[in-house]
Amino acid sequence: MNTNSHGIRYYYADLLEKGLKFAFPPSNSQSATDVLIADLTVALEKLNDPPYTQISAIIKENPTDRIPLQLSSAARSVKRKLKDNDLCVTRADKGNPVVVMKRTEYKTKMKNFIDSNGGKLCTLNFSKFCQNVRKYISNSTYVIEQRSKQFLLNINLSPPRLYGLPKGHKKDIPIRPIVSFLSSPTYKLCQYLDTWFKTNANF
């Protein structure tokens, strides 16, 4: 879906129609393979008898495809066109259509939503909040098992992120607000506590 006045050529559209979850094959397949094996090695360390050799052999026997030249060229052209015309790409509220719209229009819709719903500037000391969460997890002696504490200590923390999905099926294409908590310091803790209460307290 194109909501702006800038035309999208057919080969751009073919690329965008692949969706926002489409990923290009790595340009350096050997390097990508080495990184994947290293990541799996770290992830499997907790197993009693991790099958390092078998997994490494499977990965090496199934090399990744190379990026087709035409697709790579189209991707660079799309990226340049989006930047030159100040466009942004997001997905629609319903279904999986890709929406292309002016960045200024997107920001205006988001600001209007926040202002119309009484949004206020947050004064939370985020660094202090993160420190407190880590302290409470580390000091827990009953609810959180020792072996689970390291898993609950998120890294690369950031505040919950607000973004909007355009409602392309409605007049004037309003924005549906979404808040992502994936990077929040309490995201994994909330999942853990949800399971703990359901298991131990019939909550």
Predicted model pTM: 0.63
Please report, for the chain, the start and end positions of each structural domain, with discontinuous segments joined by +.
121-203
Give the model confidence (pLDDT) of 30-69 as tens digits: 777 777 777 777 767 666 666 767 777 777 776 666 666 6
CB distance 144 to 152 below 8 Å: yes
Give the model confidence (pLDDT) of 124-170 as tens digits: 899 999 999 999 999 998 888 888 888 888 778 899 999 998 887 78
